Chains A and B, each alone.
Chain A
């Protein structure tokens, strides 16, 4: 009974994760001037993610209240409770990206590294979700190691935006939207790392966050 309900919670989290991946793709695609705006689709998906977050909260709280889980079951439920919260935040990041990408849609952007950053972030997110699905601690640990790559992209874009604003202040708003997208992608990398760290704790009871083993 308890295991059945834990699996139900896990399936719901994976449903949320799939919606978020879809949101991010739709948000970023607006940077291509040839594509039509997908902002409304992103917002509709976010409403579903928010609804799922509330349902998943209830599922997790009920599991704890009704079954008093222990050991690995307790870790799984507590970590899934956290991952649920991270997924909702991921949805918020996707909305932020969608808003800025909509502003930039009519311009030809000379920021090829934003696409590379998006690709790296999506891969990191996909890997963290897959690691969670399979409770694969090796894959989860590898995700954590990749966070530096995303951070490096963010720093490089920040430098380019700064240079751009200094040389072309008339288009400062565009540059700020690019910076906002990079910042949100970087935050997605952090949240993917959280999911991976929580996966390691869930599976092994090992704390690896903040670069330390407790």
Chain B
């Protein structure tokens, strides 16, 4: 079942045409990897799915992006609600300078509609879902800044999960982490896809192969190829995909 669908998506930053007629359907509860050389537009595409590009000056966007049945670029869309439903984790772990508990509770607290008991339950559930609970349960009131890089990244995932998202956007989530922490995040993604649809931008081709069900290859703002990862990695349809995967460019 399709969770996110773009049609004729074009995006300009000023005169720079960053996304060119992108048509893609992201399946629900699957991991979709977006790969491609630097500057190809993969992070920009990811950011269109929760309208994070809206902050950029001179943004011009056309085409449609549907989350389920809703066009997320309609004027009436509540951006806070959209970003709760489409959580995002960035390349560099970015916990708030608050306690571990406050980091995960933050989104729920500012909504102002949850009891303290509910919030505590959701924090615990989210930390467990992010495989962090056992490591932090005895120090929930310690600063999140004291955690290791890998733990901070899982905390950011827990923070996103606390809002019960339908989709998780991961923008190079392991590029700043050591191999062990990377392996843990990858295993976590495989576990989480039972509940949420995951889109991951990665420069690590092997990572895309290991964890994704579908792979999208982008080049110069175009979606060159999109298909099942097993197909894209073994018999890509486009010569540019083949060249990228075999290291001929990028």
Contacts and interface: CB of A to CB of B under 8 A. Distances in A.
Binding between chains A and B: yes
Interface of A: 1-2, 58, 61-62, 65-68
Nearest to B208: A66
Nearest to B228: A62
B229 interface: yes
A67 B210 contact: yes
Nearest to B231: A62
A56 B205 CA distance: 24
A65 B210 contact: no
B209 A66 contact: yes
Given A61-B234, A62-B230, A62-B234, A68 B190 contact: no
A66 B230 contact: yes
A193 to B, nearest CB: 31
B97 to A, nearest CB: 36
A49 to B, nearest CB: 23
A1 B230 contact: no
A1 B190 contact: yes
B12 to A, nearest CB: 35
B110 interface: no
A73 to B, nearest CB: 13
B120 interface: no
B206 A65 contact: no
A58 B190 CA distance: 22
15 contacts: A1-B190, A1-B210, A1-B211, A2-B210, A58-B230, A62-B233, A65-B209, A65-B233, A65-B234, A66-B209, A66-B233, A67-B209, A67-B210, A68-B206, A68-B209
A68 B204 CA distance: 12
B: interface residue count bin = 10 to 19
A61 B233 CA distance: 10
Contacts of B211: 1
Given A1-B187, A66-B209, 9 more contacts: A2-B210, A58-B230, A62-B233, A62-B234, A65-B230, A65-B234, A66-B229, A67-B209, A68-B206
Nearest to B187: A1
Which of A58, A62, A66, A67 is most buried by chain B, counting CB atoms within 10 A of its CB?
A66
A1 B31 CA distance: 15
Contacts of A58: 230
Contacts of B206: 67-68
A157 B209 CA distance: 53
Nearest to B234: A65
Interface string B217-241: 0000000000001100110000000
Contacts of B209: 65-68
A62 B211 CA distance: 13
Contacts of B190: 1
A66 B235 CA distance: 12
A117 to B, nearest CB: 42
A74 to B, nearest CB: 14
Contacts of A62: 230, 233-234
Interface string B193-217: 0000000000000100111000000
A106 B211 CA distance: 59
A64 to B, nearest CB: 9
Nearest to B205: A68
Contacts of B229: 66
Nearest to A59: B230
A121 B229 CA distance: 42
A42 to B, nearest CB: 33
A65 B209 CA distance: 7
Contacts of A66: 209-210, 229-230, 233
Nearest to A68: B206
Contacts of B233: 62, 65-66
The 8 A-B pairs of least Cβ separation, nearest first, read A66-B209, A65-B233, A62-B230, A65-B234, A68-B206, A61-B234, A66-B233, A67-B210
A67 B234 CA distance: 12
Contacts of A1: 187, 190, 210-211
B198 to A, nearest CB: 15
B33 to A, nearest CB: 11
Contacts of A65: 209, 230, 233-234
Contacts of A68: 206, 209
A91 B225 CA distance: 39
A62 B229 CA distance: 9
